[in-house]
Structure 1
Amino acid sequence: MSSASASGSERPAFRDPALPLQKRVDDLLSRLTPEERIAMLHQHVPAVPRLGLAAFRTGSEALHGVSWMGVATVFPQAVGLGATWDEDLVRRVAEAVSVELRAFHHHRVPALGDGPHSLQAWAPVLNLLRDPRWGRNEEGYSEDPVHTARLGEAYCRGLAGDHPTYLRAAPVLKHFLAYNNEDDRCTTSSGLRPRVLHEYDLAAFRPVVTSGAATGAMAAYNLVNGRPCHVSPLIETELRRWARPTGHELFVVSDAEAPSNLVDPEHYFDDHAESHAAALKAGIDSFTDHDEDSATPVGRLREALERG
């Protein structure tokens, strides 16, 4: 045994950039305790000092700029960008947004003790503008799934950049699925017949995921055909199935407070441990809930594990 190995100072595999990414991920996961793994299921992930891992947070809003972080360029809302019919322009807008997001990530730390701004960009929105009276149409590109998918892919590619190895930002598609109403958005159910589901609502997301341009998706607040999107089988049977041929996995995040909504106000489950377990099994990888108070969602997930 070398002196480096004996002293424990040998660089772990997850720190070796020469190794394949999956091998590095597997090595890191093998070193995490169950408690540390559970903690990583919340949006605000604590540091793991013994492994040299810093705290981080998933998600930064980047639909038409990052001005909520501070002084930054504000581009037209998505419906305005959609009206241009210009995929190259939309890609260049997203490129500028991601460069500014990088700048905030490196140079501006929020007052909250949760580390730098996230490079995971919660954009673009691919929800179709089904009815102009529903109060959410400024966030989408159009009522047409083909046009929406083309602009959505362009925005994703602008966010991600062209480097063969590294992402400039990680685009996350919103909101899966059939969502663009504002009133009672956490309790309304979108009724989708099979043809409407496959030829309309899924048709806006499918080309973007199959192109490999997206790195993740966010589940929607609403229900579809009576089932909350955060426990929808469509996450696995559609979204992740489309992604497999690209060689990339999709990281699926919850919308804010949506895991708690499964019990109240939706009353779909009797208790939060049961609902959180169901969301996790359905494919939710990160719980955006209770803001920085990770103790509450993590406690529910811990209880779910203890209850089997």
Structure 2
Amino acid sequence: MLIFNKQTDLKAYLFPFLASKTTIGFVPTMGALHDGHLSLLRKALQENEIVVMSIFVNPTQFNNAEDLEKYPRTLERDVKKIATISNKIIVFAPSVDDIYEGNTVSESFDYDGLEHQMEGKHRPGHFDGVGTIVKRLFEIVQPTNSYFGEKDFQQLQIIKKLVQKYKIPVNVIGCPIHREKNGLAMSSRNERLSVTEKEEAALIFKTLTASKKMFGTKSANEVSNFVKKTFENYPKFSLEYFQIADEATLKPCLRRSKNKKYRAFIAVFVNNIRLIDTISLN
């Protein structure tokens, strides 16, 4: 397996493939890989001639210094997991200095309002950091197709907007959420949960599933009140937000329209570990 730590080396290696119009699949990650990440790799391998996976914990998308410090970094284990899929996958694991060249700050982006909802409200500057790193990685790898999990659905919509506004020639492909047996959405942050907490966190998806059923007959406001009351009964959990939103604009659903697709979004703290999830309501 080829592992590159410097963008200049990766660019040099990829140059002949780009020149010959070889299809390149790209899976950007922050490491601590789980089966959800591996499913993105499998899809990328099926649809492209070569595949690159980046492993980089991006400091500019963290608005919480403690969260950045505690984010799991497991490169050696990650590489072993990648090898179970294929030894032909190219790994790009750069340093912060290599990516930011001594200037670790975000660019500013306008995503036509997508950035002001949910995660954007609760994590100031987060999507500027996401846009900065994704744009730089796209410039380095120049992929044909890039794959993202739908657990971060707001991020997926924002990256699609980034590609559209900056005219970046890459197909952004959203892939289904992978879940634990109990329904908990797979996430690198799950590694920080105890066995008991991981089991108890099944409540998140259970509540989302109930909210989807309710949305068939109840208003968005009634569903939101149900979710708030549910988490009030579980003191181990702290509900940061629950929102039913239009999938296209991410704006809150005030009155349902038959012509729109809706999605429920949730962020919950379990012992100071922040977990997000989402479910389509259509």
What interval of TM-score do these two structures reach, taking the shorter chain for normalisation? 0.3 to 0.5
Q: TM-score, normalised by structure 1?
A: 0.31
- Higher strand fraction (1 or 2): 2
Q: TM-score, normalised by structure 2?
A: 0.33
